[in-house]
Amino acid sequence: MRQSAYNNNIRRTILIVEDEYINQQILGNIAGEQYDVLYANNGLEALEIIRSLKTRLSLILLDLIMPGMNGYELLEILGKSDTLSRIPVIVLTGEKSAELKSFQLGAVDFITKPFDMPDIIMARIRRSIALSEDTYIIQTTQLDEVTQLYTREYFFTYARQQTDLDPDRVRDALVLNISHFHLVNEMYGRDFGDTVLRAAAGAISEYLRQAGGIAGRPEGDTFYVFADHRDSHAPLLEAIESAFSGLGSGARLRIRMGVCPGDGAAVELEHRFDRAARACHSLRNNYLENVAFFSNEMHERELYSERLIADVDDAIGQRHLQVWYQPKYAVQGSEPVLGSAEALIRWEHPQLGTIRPGTFIPLFEANGLVRRLDRYVWTMAAEQIRSWKDTLGVSVPVSVNVSRVDLFDPLLEETLLGILGEYGLTPEDLLLEITESAYTDNSGQVLRAVEMLRRDGFKIEMDDFGSGYSSLNMLRSIPVDAIKLDMKFICNITTSGVDRQLVHLIMEIAKFMGVPVVAEGVENREQMEFLKDAGVDIIQGYYFSKPVTPQRFSEIIKEAQAALRNGGQNAYD
C-alpha cells in the first residue's frame, strides 16, 4: 500500500467556519492540540481569511447554514479558483440530504452534528489533509509547471498504460523542438519564452483532443507526443505555427518534428522516443524541411556509425587507418619543385572495406574521437618524416590537420612537442593546418593556441580559406603563415569570372600580409597556369599527383631529389 507523505510533526493551520459559538469551541478544543485553529462566523469572514492565508491553510471545516454567505455559496466561490480549490473542505452538517450537493461543489468529507465523537473527527481531519497533500504532490510532480503537460516520468507512465490497455492500437512517437529557443529567451526575456512554450502546449493539447493521445514536456523546449498513427501529422505543426503567429512579437519561431512511426512498436517505448529525437535533431540547420521520419535507413546508418566508433581502437592498433601523402609543389620557379606534402588518412576496414574520410571524420569530430585520430596522424607523419630523413637524406615537411577540438586541449603543445622529440624532429618539419571555421568558434581561445604554437616554431596554415564569412576579420587578429584556398574556388576558375576575381582578391590580401598561398584540388594544366600567373605559391592536386602510399611518395622523392639538390628550395623559405 502506498505510504502517505503526511507528516504528524508539522503543525498545520485549519479554519473553522461556524456561526454558533459553542460549536466553534467544541471543534477548536478537539483540533487545537494538533493544529493551529482560526475562526470565522460566516462565509464572508471566511473568504477574507482564506484569500489572505491561502498558502497557509491546510483545511476548512465549513458549516452550511450561516447568515450573510452560507456554506454552499462559499463552496461555489472556492471551486472557481484554481488556487483556493486546492484547500480541502469538510462540511459540518446534520442533514444527510446536503451531502450530494456539497460533494458536487467540491467538499471532500462530512462531519455530522452533534460533535460527540472526537476521535472520528480527528481521523477525518487527518485523512482529508493527508489526501489533499498527497494529491497536490502528485499533481505538481506529474505536470510541468509552465505548460501543464506531463513531466517525463509521468508521460512514460501513462503512455505505457495506454499501450497495455490497447496493445493493438497503432501509435506514433513524436518529438517536437523549437529552433534556437535559447535565443528567444535571450532576446525577448524568459517570460515571453514561457508564453511561447504555453502557446505550443495549448496547440498540442487541442490537436490531441481530435487526434487522440497524450503529450509531455520532458525538458526545455522539447515536447513528446504519443498519438494515434497518421500518415501525416502536418496539422499539428500548422496548429503550433498558427499559435506562434498569434503572439505578435515579431520573433521568428520555427518548430521541427521527428517521428518514429507506429510500425516500430516492437521497440521499447523510451527507445522509440530516442529515435524520434534523433530524427528531429537531423533537421538542425535545415530550413527547407520541418519533419523527419526515423527510418530503417537511418537506423542502419546509426548502426554503421556505432560500428566505426567501436572499431577505431583496433583500427589504430592494427594500422588499418593508413596515412597517405599528397605532394605539394612550389610553382613560382621555372619548374615545379617538390616542397612538402599533406598527410591524408584512409581506412581499410577488414570487413567493411575502404571507408571514405568524409564518412568517419565528421563522425569522430562530433563525438570527440577526432583528437585520437589527429594524434595518430601526427605520430605516423612524424615517423615517416624521420624515415625519409634517414633513408633518403631529405627533409620533406608534412602538413597535418589540427581540429577545432584540439585547440581546446590544454595538452596540445605538450603532445606536439613530445611527438617531435620522440622522432628527433623540429617544428619546421610538421606544418599545422587549421580550418577557417575553427577560428570562428572561440576566437580568443584560437588566438591563444595559435600564438603558443607559433612561439614554439610551428608554421600555421589557414585551411579552406574563403569557405566562411569571417576570413578577413579573423586575419586581422590571428597570425598565420600560409593561406590555403578553399577547393570550391579552384573548381570553377576557368569558367567563372567571379571566382577568378575572388582568387585575385585573395592574392592581394596574402601579398599585403606577406604570406604564401596554397591551392589544393588542382586537376588540369589550365587551372595550374592561371593560379601560377595569379601568384599562387604552392599547388597540390591530381594535376601533379593523387594522394599516394608512403612507399610511392618515397619514389616521388627519389625522382625529385636531383631537382631539390640543384636549386630547389623549401616552399616556406
Cα→Cα distances 50→39, 237, 350, 462, Å: 11, 43, 76, 70
- pLDDT of 572: 38
CA distance 218 to 159: 13
At residue 567 the predicted structure's pLDDT band, cuts being 50, 70 and 90, is: low
- Measured N-to-C along each axis, helices 118-142 and 152-165 cross at an angle, to the nearest 10 degrees, of 90
- pLDDT of 9: 63
pLDDT in tens, 462-509: 887 766 544 555 566 677 889 888 777 787 777 777 878 888 888 888
At residue 2 the predicted structure's pLDDT band, cuts being 50, 70 and 90, is: very low
Residue 401 has pLDDT above 80, yes or no: yes
* Best-predicted range by mean pLDDT (119-123, 160-164, 493-497): 119-123
Q: Please tell me what DSSP assigns to residue 263.
A: G
Cα→Cα distances 561→198, 399, 558, 567, Å: 72, 20, 5, 11
- Measured N-to-C along each axis, helices 296-317 and 357-367 cross at an angle, to the nearest 10 degrees, of 90
Residue 570 has pLDDT above 60, yes or no: no
User: Which grid coordinates are listed for 307?
Assistant: 560500428
- pLDDT of 573: 40
CA distance 269 to 273: 7
- pLDDT of 202: 94
- pLDDT of 442: 58
CA distance 352 to 114: 86
CA dihedral in degrees (60, 65, 68, 69; nearest 10)? 50
pLDDT in tens, 323-356: 999 999 999 888 888 889 999 999 999 888 888 8
Beta strands 353-355 and 337-349, pairing class: antiparallel
Nearest by Cα to 154 from 165, 135, 140? 140
Question: For the purposes of burial, counting CB atoms within 10 Å of the CB of 83, is it exposed (0-12), middle (13-18) or buried (19 or more)?
Answer: exposed
Identity of the amino acid at 317? G
At residue 227 the predicted structure's pLDDT band, cuts being 50, 70 and 90, is: very high
- pLDDT of 480: 85
Q: Are 58 and 14 in contact (CB under 8 A)?
A: yes
Residue 240 has pLDDT above 70, yes or no: yes
Residue 526 has pLDDT above 70, yes or no: yes
> At the topology level of CATH, where does 12-142 sit?
Rossmann fold (3.40.50)
Q: What is the CA radius of gyration of the chain?
A: 37
362 prior amide bond cis, ω within 30: no
Edge-to-edge strand order for the sheet containing 57-63? 35-40, 12-17, 57-63, 89-93, 109-112
At residue 265 the predicted structure's pLDDT band, cuts being 50, 70 and 90, is: low
Which of the following CATH numbers is that of domain 304-565: 3.40.630.30, 3.40.50.40, 3.20.20.450, 3.30.70.120? 3.20.20.450
**Average pLDDT for residues 200-206, to the nearest whole number?**
94
Q: Please tell me what DSSP assigns to residue 142.
A: H
- pLDDT of 366: 79
Residue 523 has pLDDT above 80, yes or no: yes
**Average pLDDT for residues 540-563, to the nearest whole number?**
89
Q: What stretches of 221-336 adopt beta strand conformation (E)?
A: 222-228, 255-260, 291-293, 321-330
User: Which grid coordinates are listed for 161?
Assistant: 498504460
Element (H, E) at 182: helix 181-188
Residue 387 has pLDDT above 90, yes or no: yes
Q: What are phi and psi of 29, to 5 degrees?
A: -65, -40
Tally of CB atoms within 10 A around 175:
26
Beta strands 213-219 and 222-228, pairing class: antiparallel
Element (H, E) at 391: helix 370-392
Q: Which of 212-226, 244-258, 430-444, 512-526 has the lowest mean pLDDT?
A: 430-444
Element (H, E) at 45: helix 43-52
**Average pLDDT for residues 197-207, to the nearest whole number?**
93
- pLDDT of 8: 63
Q: Which long-range contacts (CB under 8 A, 24 or more apart) does 525-531 make?
A: 526/494, 527/490, 527/493, 527/494, 528/331, 530/493, 530/494, 530/500, 530/503, 531/331, 531/490, 531/493, 531/503
Nearest by Cα to 552 from 351, 400, 346, 295? 346
> At the topology level of CATH, where does 152-294 sit?
Alpha-Beta Plaits (3.30.70)
At residue 6 the predicted structure's pLDDT band, cuts being 50, 70 and 90, is: low
3-state secondary structure 461-523: EEEEECCCCCHHHHHHHCCCCEEEECHHHHHCCCCCHHHHHHHHHHHHHHHHHCCCEEECCCC
Element (H, E) at 296: helix 296-317
Domain residue ranges in the chain: 12-142, 152-294, 304-565
At residue 47 the predicted structure's pLDDT band, cuts being 50, 70 and 90, is: very high
Q: What are phi and psi of 178, to 5 degrees?
A: -90, 120
CA distance 462 to 472: 12
CA distance 228 to 248: 32
- pLDDT of 501: 85
Give the mean pLDDT of the chain. 86
Q: In the chain, what percentage of residues exceed pLDDT 90?
A: 40
Residue 516 has pLDDT above 70, yes or no: yes
Q: Which residues contact 451 (CB under 8 A, 6 or more apart)?
A: 479
